[in-house]
Amino acid sequence: MAEVAESTLQDLEARFQEGDIRALARALTLVESGHPLGQALLKRLRGKGQAKVVGITGSPGAGKSTLTDRLILEARKRGEKVGVLAVDPSSPFTGGAILGDRIRMMRHHQDPGVYIRSLASRGALGGLAGATVAALNLLEAFGFDRIFVETVGVGQSEVDIARVADTTLLVLTPAAGDAVQAFKAGVMEIADLFAVNKFDLPGGERIVQELKSALELSPPRPGGWRPPIFPTVAATGEGVEALFEGLEAHHQHLLAHNLLEAHRKERARFEVESVIQEWGRRRTREAEEVIAQVAQGLLSPEEAAKALLGLRPGSGNGEGPS
Amino acid sequence: MAEVAESTLQDLEARFQEGDIRALARALTLVESGHPLGQALLKRLRGKGQAKVVGITGSPGAGKSTLTDRLILEARKRGEKVGVLAVDPSSPFTGGAILGDRIRMMRHHQDPGVYIRSLASRGALGGLAGATVAALNLLEAFGFDRIFVETVGVGQSEVDIARVADTTLLVLTPAAGDAVQAFKAGVMEIADLFAVNKFDLPGGERIVQELKSALELSPPRPGGWRPPIFPTVAATGEGVEALFEGLEAHHQHLLAHNLLEAHRKERARFEVESVIQEWGRRRTREAEEVIAQVAQGLLSPEEAAKALLGLRPGSGNGEGPS
């Protein structure tokens, strides 16, 4: 049995290395479903390839998918092979509308230089899943020059994407409250670039001014990067070329200041944290008895955590595993 | 030295049990700062008391603090002792505005039956910290009849509060996009009650109708609970009495259907998960060498996680600690 799996793995890896897009699709499915073969393949392929990874985030309805669609065109004009990961919230309320947006991107399905994959986000608001980063690693190993990761939603997933991507683009609109939302939620700090999309709507100039003022108060970024602001109208393509050049400028900044490696380490750190978090989630689901004891005050959460992870009881001072 | 700590602990616990509010404040500070004395005290006090725990959440600017202020008054009219935990995002951009809201609540500082505590949320968007639940446990042990936990922000903290509170209130406004935001982000599913606050603004009726339609599509809740919708104007107090009665009705529903214990277990589960997540976060911060190996593809995230938690290497199949 193990030998069969081994030969399947080698066959899949060989086809993957040859650039067979069906091998990529199969590998992504294996990884997303947590299949051991996917884990094994990932281990062989990790660290191969070097894509420019761009995270695109912002509130629902900001036009992220349409903007991504336009950015793909810009990348293709420059001869880049492009991968896209679109992370959907799994809520039944959102499925419909988002699929509608995604359909616009389907024109790229005729283009062999573009590969688009939708991923379910486990738990509507649970941030970016470890499986998303695993998928990203596969796309990178496949040899794409540029990978866009579009995260729908608000909150944790925006912070997560900034840890995973090399360059993070925050998409806002002139809609009332959109900028305020960004300031309040602390998302300002994580964006390397801003797009004020739907700039043809009233209030675009005002939001650009508000952003500028807020950014002046914001702490300096590594290497002295000042996040630029790009007015765009994704529906017509207006401003998208300048935005793409902005993405490129940020990548050059990372290279010039030796910052890319730090980004890659942060991504690895995120992956390891996600694994530990997922273990914690699974173990606490399974251990009804231990959890009941915590609820009754018989065990502290720290004692329960040690027991669930199979650590020696009483090791350390309750502040972590020894 | 250990004996000194032991006598300090006993003294603090005795004053706490006598209802000394300064002992509560000291205990909260010890717990929030992660002091071992706080952990020890918490362990002695866990599981004592039985408060009605109400989570209040919603987007920034929805008027949550003003509404909480009004709900405190309703609780006091009924003779309840009230504790409030206000969880602030730590972003420098938000501090000012939120402090402004909080000042309104300060009139209760003259009232010995009300205790209000602001907690820093570690990491602006990182969801609810384990320390918040520890603080909640302390307030409960102190003997408050009702505890309001107000979470500012969007995303993960809203999902977290629903796991920690017995009753979750989602505050919306007629502002454009507020309901849409709720539907998109999957927050609908976690609310036991809705308040459409600032109902005197245009569009209030429309949002109530939208919510009703969405709730009809929403899956049934445990015990057949149908989340009610309350129009409120927190600034004048309009609709707040009905809302308070709604909170009470939900609590009676939990009691009648034996659902309270399940809520308490979910809170305990959240605490244990938080501990494991925090260990993961700390360990990945400290272990530069291991993380670098993951980034280079020399270690898988699973192998790194095992190494960091001090688990036997090679135990299990890469799907978790054995």
Least confident piece of the model among A103-107, B83-87, B109-113, B242-246: A103-107
Residue numbers in B near A94 (CB within 8 A):
183-184, 186
CA–CA separation, B88 vs B132, rounded Å?
11
Give how far A77 is from chain B: nearest CA, Å.
31
Residue B93 to residue A267, Cβ atoms within 8 A: no
Interface of B with A in 159-188 (CB under 8 A): 159, 175-177, 180-181, 183-188
> Which residue type is seen at A5?
A
CA separation for the pair A67, B44 (Å, rounded): 55
Which of A314, A309, A313, A162 is closest to B280 using CA atoms? A309
Fold of A48-256: Rossmann fold (3.40.50)
CATH architecture of the domain formed by B49-257? 3-Layer(aba) Sandwich (3.40)
pLDDT band at B101 (very low <50, low <70, confident <90, very high): very low
CB contact (8 A) between residue A292 and residue B268: yes
Strand order, beta sheet including A52-58: A114-121, A82-89, A146-151, A52-58, A167-172, A193-196, A229-231
**Alpha-carbon gap, residue B134 to B115, rounded angstroms:** 16
Task: Say if the Cβ atoms of B295 and A124 lie within 8 Å.
Answer: no
B4 class by beta-carbon count within 10 Å (0-12 exposed, 13-18 middle, 19+ buried): exposed
* A155: chain B residues, CB-CB within 8 Å: 125, 153-158, 185
ipTM exceeding the 0.90 mark: no
The answer to whether residue B46 neighbours chain A at the CB level (below 8 Å) is: yes
Contacts of A282 in chain B (CB under 8 A): 320
Pairing of strands B167-172, B193-196: parallel
pLDDT digits (tens, 9 = 90+) for B209-226: 988 988 888 778 899 999
Question: Which of B126, B186, B295 faces A93 most closely, judged by CB atoms?
Answer: B186
- Give, for A95, the enclosing helix (H) or strand (E): helix A95-105
Q: What is the pLDDT of residues B253-293, one digit of tens each?
A: 999 999 999 999 999 999 999 889 888 888 898 899 999 99
Residue B180 has pLDDT above 80, yes or no: no
Whether residue A294 lies within 8 A of chain B, CB to CB, comes out as: yes
10-residue stretch averages of pLDDT, chain A, 322 residues long: 72 94 92 85 85 90 88 96 78 38 61 84 56 90 95 69 92 76 67 95 91 84 93 96 98 96 92 89 90 90 89 45 46
- Whether residue B155 and residue A297 make contact (CB cut-off 8 A), yes or no, is no
Question: Which of A39, A177, A291 is nearest residue B265 as measured by Cβ atoms?
Answer: A291
Enumerate the domain spans of chain B: 1-45, 49-257
B318: CB partners within 8 A, 6+ apart:
A36, A39, B300, B302, B303
Determine the average pLDDT of the residues in B153-172. Answer: 83
- Please answer whether residues B55 and B161 qualify as being in contact, where contact means their C-beta atoms are separated by less than 8 angstroms: yes
Band of the pLDDT at B7, cuts 50, 70, 90?
A: confident
Query: Closest approach of chain B CAs to the CA of A178, in angstroms?
Result: 10
Residues in chain A with CB shorter than 8 Å from the CB of B283 are: 276, 320-321
CA A221 to chain CA centroid, Å, is 20
